[in-house]
Amino acid sequence: MQKYVSQIHRCFRCGYCKFPADYSSFNCPSYRRFRFDSYSTGGRLWLIYAWLRGEIDWSEHLAEILYTCTTCKNCTEQCPMKFAPDIVDWIVGARSDMVEKGKIPARVARFFEAVYGYGNPFKQLRSDRAAWANGAKRYAQGDEYLLYVGCLGSYDENGQKMARCLVDILKASGVSFGILGEQEECCGNEIYMLGETGLFQNLAEKNSLKFKELGVGKVITLCPHGYNTMKNLYPASGGNFKVYHYTQVLNDLIKKNKIEPARARARVTYHDPCFLGRHNNIYDEPRRILQAIPGIELVEMERNRKDAFCCGGGSGNFVTDLLAGSADSPARVRAREAYETGADTLAVACPSCLTMLTDAVKAENLDDRLAVRDVSQILKDLSPAR
Ligand code: SF4
Ligand code: SF4
């Protein structure tokens, strides 16, 4: 991390990173939540700078400020400086320094302990990892795809529903695939973003080795976070397989007429997950799936695609909840923005966004007017695969 010090001071705190491209609102979720400059990208970078140079002491509050960044990458899009692509790496690097020194917020420490002890952040038993699966077949050599559902797909109620729905669609479309069940490990994306590089390395190597032993050549992930880590970080840890987010696979199946969407009636707005959109440039496939369903009207939120406003769940915040507790919490801001489009359905493509936004819509008392559903649920329930 010390090697970044000479670069961080080039941030001149202009504040462009707080906004979307048209400067219409605040787009850094932690700044939007707390409205202190220390919670913006520039403020955070200067706090890191001062801490690394010994000008300020560590405190729980300083650590919390660092960990309220959801690694959404809005700042990377908006910062005009050459170093913009490195900003999230700097924040992750500073967190790694805090992890090494044992100086992290208690909630983050509990996240790590849960993954160390149980292999997931929810402290659920490994033996229950396939409880969602309802008899879905285990991966066997010769299957085209391994379906990797991740910790949310395995244990979170909304994620489980999403995973079951995807299994039903893949089965009905004749795709050859299997799951890992109890043998699945946490993907480690949040662990990496939270700065625990040793534990991340361990998880990435275990998963990569397991896939290799089983002869897995193609992986479908339920979650954009798993997609991100397997696509961008696993190759350095021996991961040698192709990875697809499920929306890419479903879009392809529709194109090949293996799914024929039935007529539906809904006005839908789509929320871009940060780890699918800004991190991996996948904006079109989820929209194409929705547009392929006759009778669905797709309306965009004011902030969409590269300018989408993060739900606040990234970088482990769906568990640590450091941004929760206010009408200014990012998920609640985003729920109101979705409602303002006049949509009756808020579509997501991530189990973390699904839970964050479902809870936010309830907190805003909008749950009888705005249904939050995953793209696969919209495709299956409004438009059953044939
Ligand atoms: S990170 Fe970039 S956009 Fe943000 S304050 Fe620093 S120089 Fe300006
Ligand atoms: S990654 Fe997102 S939350 Fe973190 S500083 Fe940048 S804009 Fe803010």
CATH code for 123-251? 3.40.50
Residues with CB under 6 A from ligand 2: 17, 28-30, 41, 44, 69-75, 88
Pocket test for ligand 1, best of 10, 13, 49 (most atoms within 8 A of CB): 13
| Tokens encoding 4 | 């970044």
pTM of the predicted structure, to 2 decimals: 0.96
CA dihedral 212, 218, 223, 225 (to 10 degrees): 60
**Ligand nearest the Cα atom of residue 41:** 2
Which ligand approaches the C-alpha of residue 17 most closely? Answer: 1
* CA nearest ligand 2 atom 6, residue: 75
Q: Where are the beta strands (DSSP E) in the chain?
A: 145-148, 177-179, 218-221, 242-245, 266-270, 296-298, 345-348, 371-374
| Residue 41 Cα to ligand 1 middle (Å) | 7
- Residue 323 contacts by C-beta under 8 Å, 6 or more apart in sequence? 29, 30, 33, 68, 70, 312, 317, 329, 330
For 249-285, what is each residue's pLDDT tens digit? 999 999 999 999 988 999 999 999 999 999 999 999 9
CA 182 to centroid of ligand 1, rounded, Å: 44
Name the segment(s) of the chain with CATH classification 3.40.50.10700.
Answer: 260-382
Residue 209 identity (one-letter amino acid):
L
Minimal CA–CA distance to 154: which of 176, 178, 177, 186? Answer: 186
pLDDT at residue 3 is higher than 80: no
Residue pLDDT, tens place only, 283-329: 999 999 999 999 999 999 999 999 999 999 999 999 999 999 999 99
Number of H helices, E strands in the chain: 18, 8
pLDDT at residue 300, as a whole number: 98
Top-tier CATH class for 260-382: alpha beta
- How far does residue 46's CA lie from ligand 1's centre (Å)? 10
Tokens at residue 223, please? Answer: 């979650």
Residue nearest to atom 6 of ligand 1 (CA): 11
Alpha carbon of 321 to ligand 1 centroid (Å): 26
Mean pLDDT over 227-241 rounds to 95
